Structure 1
Amino acid sequence: MRTICDVAELEHVVGSRSLPVMMKSIDRLDSHCHALLGRAPAAVLGYVDTEGRPRAAVVGGAPGFAAPETSARLRLPVPADAAQGTGAALLVLLPGWRETLRINGTVDRGGLAVEEAFLHCGKAVIRSNLWGPGEGGTADTEEGTVIGPAAEAFLATAPFAVIASHDHEGNADASPKGDPPGVVRPIGPTTVAVADRPGNRRTDTFHNILERPEVAIVAVAPGDDRTLELTGTATISTEPELRESMSERRSTPKAVLVVEVAQVRLRHTPALRESRLWDAEWHVDPGELPKPSAIWTDHVKLNETSGAKAKVVRTMANEKMLRTGLDLDYRQNLY
């Protein structure tokens, strides 16, 4: 199988990280983050457990479950097996809203010491129709070292997943992936594949995997209170046949994430049931939230990257222009 082994090859295939894209992040929680967290009932947390293994879990249960104590610290229900002082990443879900808030930091006394916050584009949520009506699931659960029939059936219905990864310094990332049902595709009893689709163009997951290939994936299916967590070792494939097999809307992904699975956990998840993510009556009204274009504009201006080029990016940041470009991008570059 053809795989990408270094950053130069990765950027040749999927593109490099541009300065304006990277400047959409800030190193603290601002008023926009506070507003979004106050309405969010659930999130996916990528973390490291006490045995040093990558994990990913849905946490929460009610709006405001993750509460900012300061601009640099977030209180939230951390899993009991999370190792203190290790990198963790939070992908915050607001039901009915297409964008997601991402907060990266370090597990610290029942919360997260915040090191980075940024808004992720809504393409994964749009492609997955995440907030559409769900059919519900069965009561089947499954745990083991292979993808059994219950896990395979669940993956066939799941349009949305989050991949948790870490770099060689232990910094964490939790990246959303969305497609029609089957976003995580089994290609063997212990192997799954996830296509790389257009997103925020940071390619954090791929960069992390080149340094530290261990990952955790958590998949969800609308209306189902179960989650499927897969942990294992990832590679980045450019195999033509695999890429072609994962084409959508006549668009072939430039790369595919392939994970050799070591552990499978299909479980009922109280946070999903309690947060009522797929109850339309509990969905947020996007009109009551800050405009994504305003959040990105403000975050660019708050970003403290030094240098002449960064100063130009801050000066040129314009909410109206960004909003127009964003709407066009969502229409034309979904795949």
Structure 2
Amino acid sequence: MDSSLAGTARSDQEVLAGYRPPSQLVLDKEIDRIDRHCAAFIGLSPFATLSTAGADGWPETSPRGGDPGFVRVLDEQHLALPDRTGNNRVDSLRRLAENPRAALLFFVPGAEETLKVFGTTSLAGPDDLGVDLTEFGRAPRSVLVIEVTRAYFQCGKAVMRSGLWDPSTHVDRSTMTPFGEVLREHCRLETPLPDDATIRAELAQEL
């Protein structure tokens, strides 16, 4: 912490004491399974974030996406998350091999509410579940099976504040540094990379 702030710092518990208790409704909305409402939301979701933590405790969050319903509801206690072609770092899967606890946050375009799902995981081969998980003409490299321990819908305040689904808030990419330039600097490359249109076209071929 900046030394200039040391004299004004309060303990974590002092800060937390400033929050009012959650309502009973907020507490009661948590369930221990994927019910029909959760299943319907997951079936409409083309995007989710996967949060993990390794044995060292450091967290990581990774985006996951596909056609709506790309995360498959197997039954009330189990989800199947196919692992598609990526950068092959497999950071999330390596962490889950050390610590199988995970959390998923599901988004549905146009809906302010999100869905949180928590559980423990195991890794399966693409054909182990007897379910066709082919997408974009390709089978997954592996499948993450989540055994659900709890789930609940998050209210829409954060998405409403962000204007996430409002087209008028979308950023013009021309105002951003080209991604190829960002990569070149971060990777300390001497030669330039292709322009962003070429990079996106190449990525689209690997979906």
Fold shared by both chains (TM-score > 0.5)? yes
Q: What SS does the aligned partner of 1:320 have?
A: coil
TM-superposed deviation, 1:227: 0.9
CA distance in structure 2 between the partners assigned to 1:169 and 1:323 by the alignment:
36
Structure 1 residues 210 and 275 mapped into 2: Cα distance closer, same or farther (>3 Å)? same
Q: Deviations over 1:216-262 (max 9, x none)?
A: 11000011111110111011110515376110122101101110010
Structure 1 residues 279 and 208 mapped into 2: Cα distance closer, same or farther (>3 Å)? same
CA distance in structure 1 between the partners assigned to 2:52 and 2:150 by the alignment:
16
CA distance in structure 1 between the partners assigned to 2:95 and 2:194 by the alignment:
32
Structure 1 residues 222 and 142 mapped into 2: Cα distance closer, same or farther (>3 Å)? farther
Counterpart code for 2:116: E
CA contact (8 A) 2:85 2:141 kept: no
The correspondence of residues 149-298 of structure 1 with structure 2, limited to 5 A, is 149-242=36-129, 245-298=132-185
TM-superposed deviation, 1:329: 2.4
Counterpart code for 2:74: I
CA distance in structure 1 between the partners assigned to 2:172 and 2:195 by the alignment:
21
> Among residues 194, 203, 206, which one is paired with 1:330 in the alignment?
203
CA contact (8 A) 1:177 1:183 kept: no
Q: What SS does the aligned partner of 1:218 have?
A: strand
CA distance in structure 1 between the partners assigned to 2:86 and 2:50 by the alignment:
14
Q: For structure 1, which runs of at least 5 residues remain unmatched after alignment?
A: 1-68, 71-79, 82-140, 302-313
276-285 or 199-208: bigger deviation: 199-208
CA distance in structure 2 between the partners assigned to 1:195 and 1:325 by the alignment:
27
TM-superposed deviation, 1:324: 7.5
CA distance in structure 1 between the partners assigned to 2:109 and 2:200 by the alignment:
25
Q: Deviations over 1:41-88 (max 9, x none)?
A: xxxxxxxxxxxxxxxxxxxxxxxxxxxx99xxxxxxxxx99xxxxxxx
CA distance in structure 2 between the partners assigned to 1:206 and 1:217 by the alignment:
14
Higher strand share: 1
RMSD between aligned residues: 2.5
Q: Which has the larger radius of gyration?
A: 2
Counterpart code for 1:256: V
CA distance in structure 2 between the partners assigned to 1:157 and 1:230 by the alignment:
15
Q: What SS does the aligned partner of 1:177 have?
A: strand
Q: For structure 2, which runs of at least 5 residues remain unmatched after alignment?
A: 3-11, 14-27
Q: What SS does the aligned partner of 1:230 have?
A: strand
Structure 1 residues 211 and 297 mapped into 2: Cα distance closer, same or farther (>3 Å)? same
CA contact (8 A) 1:142 1:151 kept: no
The TM-score, its normalising length taken from structure 1, stands at 0.51
CA contact (8 A) 1:142 1:148 kept: no
CA distance in structure 2 between the partners assigned to 1:142 and 1:194 by the alignment:
24
Q: What SS does the aligned partner of 1:240 have?
A: coil
CA distance in structure 1 between the partners assigned to 2:159 and 2:97 by the alignment:
32
The answer for the alignment partner of 2:21 in structure 1 is: none
CA contact (8 A) 1:218 1:229 kept: yes
The answer for the alignment partner of 2:193 in structure 1 is: 320
Q: What SS does the aligned partner of 1:236 have?
A: strand
CA distance in structure 1 between the partners assigned to 2:187 and 2:138 by the alignment:
31
> What percent identity do the matched residue pairs reach?
27
TM-superposed deviation, 1:197: 1.0
The TM-score, its normalising length taken from structure 2, stands at 0.81
